[in-house]
């Protein structure tokens, strides 16, 4: 089955700096790659996603890149702010009926003011 690895497990940056989180996946059939943000005491919420027919997607300060050949994808947050502090999860899924989203282990991001 699918396996998703995520690095680093913890990331600390200064406010205004960029943060990059990287993930790899094992199943070449995966074609949907969402990123979720989880704030303390809350459930995860989708912040951006990318499908396998696209190499890059951007939404304001957040961008995601996908390298299908290498089977890895990354989340980039620019101009970080203290409210970006949270746990971030990457995930992968296959777009066939009845399948499931597999998550990475998560990255705890600290943005220091």
Partner 1 sequence: IAGITQAPTSQILAAGRRMTLRCTQDMRHNAMYWYRQDLGLGLRLIHYSNTAGTTGKGEVPDGYSVSRANTDDFPLTLASAVPSQTSVYFCASSPLAGGTGELFFGEGSRLTVL
Candidates 24, 74, 80, 93: give the one binding partner 1 (CB under 8 A): 93
**CB of 74 vs partner 1, minimal distance in Å:** 17
Candidates 19, 73, 89, 111: give the one binding partner 1 (CB under 8 A): 89
Q: Does the footprint of partner 1 cover residue 80 (CB under 8 A)? A: no
Candidates 58, 61, 100, 112: give the one binding partner 1 (CB under 8 A): 100
Q: Does the footprint of partner 1 cover residue 101 (CB under 8 A)? A: yes
Candidates 1, 69, 83, 113: give the one binding partner 1 (CB under 8 A): 1
Q: At which residue do the structure tokens 């406010």 appear?
A: 15
Residue by residue, DSSP assigns 33-100 as: EEEEEE-TTS--EEEEEEETT-SEEEETTEEEEEETTTTEEEEEE-S--GGG-EEEEEEEB--STT--
Query: What are the C-alpha distances in Å from 5 to residues 40, 65, 69?
Result: 22, 16, 16
Binding interface with partner 1 (CB under 8 A)? 1, 6, 9, 31-32, 34, 36, 41-46, 49, 89, 93-106
């Amino acid at each position: 089955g699918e396996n998703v690895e995520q690095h680093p497990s913890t990331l600390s940056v200064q406010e205004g700096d960029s943060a990059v989180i990287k993930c790899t996946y094992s199943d070449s059939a995966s074609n949907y790659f969402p990123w979720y943000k989880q704030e303390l005491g809350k459930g995860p919420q989708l912040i951006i996603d990318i499908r396998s027919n696209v190499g890059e997607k951007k939404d304001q300060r957040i961008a995601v890149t996908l390298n299908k050949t290498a089977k890895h994808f990354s989340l980039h947050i620019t101009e970080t702010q203290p409210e970006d502090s949270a746990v971030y999860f990457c995930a992968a899924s296959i777009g066939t009926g009845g399948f499931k989203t597999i998550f990475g282990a998560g990255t705890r991001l600290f943005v220091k003011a």
